[in-house]
Amino acid sequence: MRVSRWSYRGGLSVVALVLGAALVSVAETRPEPVQVGVDNRQSATGAPLTLTLQDAIARARKHNPEYRAALTDFGVTKQERAESRAALLPNVNYNAEFLYTEGNGTAAGRFVANNGVHEYLSQGNVHQEFSLAHIADYRRTAAAEAVANARVEIAARGLVLTVVGAYYGLVVAERKYATAERADGEAQRFLETSQKLEQGGEVARSDVIKAELQSQQQRRDLTEAKLGMERSRVELAVLLFPDFKQDFNVVDDLEVPEALLTFPQVQAAAADKNPELRAALAAVREANQQVAGARNGFLPSLNVDYFYGIDADRFAIRKFDPASGRDVRNLGYAATATLQLPIWDWGANRSRLQQADLRRDQARVELSFAQRKLLGDLRTFYNEAQTARLELESLDKSAELAAESLRLTTLRYQGGEATVLEVVDAQNTLTGARNAYDDGQVRFRVAMANLETLTGNF
């Protein structure tokens, strides 16, 4: 592996300047974000931060809004499952109440709703509801949690694909900038050579003009390569840093391509680890439990309550009873059981059942499509990765041959055996071959990242 040593030093584009000004204005109104770990250590030494691909992926997971939204949804579904589980268990509450009634000279008072003129309640209540709908709802939330968990994995793998593209996009942009620098130097040296040969009367003026045109074109290509490098750096910085940091280096590990498994191995990994298939299966389970919950709305439910405490006309554990002439305990217990039978609801339960059936049918269709799409994408992505891997050796060989061709053509030109057009063509061929090899390496890495969105890491 090698570390790309180019870091951002030049002027920013107009868009970057505007963004930088906006960040400065925001920084004046809020505290500067604190960077942890290696950032603080490297900022103290003033050295630019060096990132590997895994470092970039870890940073992107902290700051990417889509991935964080998937994590939030997963957290919400976990809490919903906890709520539905609580509905299956007894609830304990404490009730404290004081009822005052205007007296009428009797112990009962004016209003018969109360047990006395003064009534005090201080009770603990254990409440339990027995309903099959609650059981179905708990199973539904468990399936929804599985769906959200699978979507977190989908978001994570999609984010990896995005980071891989941006990370190696910067690596190749820096390579292309270095290639453009070499091409610019070669064009300048060729211009100087043609000028010397013209002075010696060995070549015509047209050769010098062609060499000068080539030098100008290479200088423009160098400017465009620098712009592309800066653009790639900005794109990666947006993904990785909350403070739009651009003074960092990336590790160039494209020289060592990954091994590619056989298709049966890849197919087995996809069948076992594909998050989209897991999400579709969990969605079908969730839809089944929605149907079960809607059907249970037609069944009876049972509520049981147990009370223990004080419900008397004195707030005391004991009181004097005039009828018996002795003290009696106010503390006591009571229990109630309520059976509720649904009789008529104007079709509301039937409507809920039909809605649940429709959602289940849709979930089954989506599962079938996810299975077909998995098979198609798996074959397509594998073929892309395999083709890109096979072409790397050929692209590397082409770059070596183009470099040798330029060397030999330049020597032949100096010996008067080649024309200026042959030299210019050899220069352009070398630049194209080097860029094609770099693009081929990125194509393979991106193809592998695409494949791993279906299979997970190999």
CATH number where 165 lies: 1.20.1600.10
Alpha-carbon gap, residue 16 to 51, rounded angstroms: 22
Residue 238: name the closest of 293, 291, 170 by CA.
170
| Residues in the chain, total | 458
Confirm whether 265 is domain-assigned. Answer: yes
**246: Cα separation from own chain's centroid:** 22
Residue-level pLDDT, tens digit, the chain, 458 residues: 444 434 333 333 333 333 333 333 333 333 333 333 334 334 445 688 999 999 999 999 999 999 999 999 999 999 999 999 999 999 999 999 888 776 666 655 555 556 677 788 899 999 999 999 899 999 999 999 999 999 999 999 999 999 999 999 999 999 999 999 999 999 999 999 999 988 988 888 999 999 999 999 999 999 999 999 999 999 999 999 998 888 999 999 888 777 888 999 999 999 888 999 999 999 999 999 999 999 998 999 999 999 999 988 788 888 877 777 788 888 899 999 999 999 998 999 999 999 999 999 999 999 999 999 999 999 999 999 999 999 999 999 999 999 999 999 999 998 888 999 999 999 999 999 999 999 999 999 999 999 999 998 75
Confirm whether 121 is domain-assigned. Answer: no
Write phi, then psi, for 51 (nearest 5 degrees). -115, 135
- pTM score above 0.85: no
Identify the pLDDT of residue 231. 96
Q: Is the separation of the CB atoms in 249 and 50 below 8 Å? A: yes
Confirm whether 397 is domain-assigned. Answer: yes
Confirm whether 232 is domain-assigned. Answer: yes
Identify the pLDDT of residue 107. 57
3-state secondary structure 319-339: EEECCCCEEEECEEEEEEEEE
Range 447-452 contact pairs with CB under 8 angstroms and sequence separation of 24 or more: 447/381, 447/384, 447/385, 447/388, 448/258, 448/260, 448/385, 449/160, 449/161, 449/164, 449/165, 450/161, 450/381, 450/384, 450/385, 451/266, 451/378, 451/381, 451/382, 451/384, 451/385, 452/157, 452/160
Confirm whether 116 is domain-assigned. Answer: no
Exposure string over 245-255, b if 16+ CB within 10 A, otherwise e: ebebbbbbbbe
262 SS3 class: coil
Structural domain count of the chain: 1
- Strands 301-312 and 91-100, bridge-based pairing: unpaired
Confirm whether 126 is domain-assigned. Answer: no
Q: Is the separation of the CB atoms in 228 and 180 below 8 Å? A: no
Identify the pLDDT of residue 250. 93
Residue 175 belongs to what domain range?
2-63+131-299+361-455
Confirm whether 119 is domain-assigned. Answer: no
Alpha-carbon gap, residue 420 to 214, rounded angstroms: 10
Confirm whether 118 is domain-assigned. Answer: no
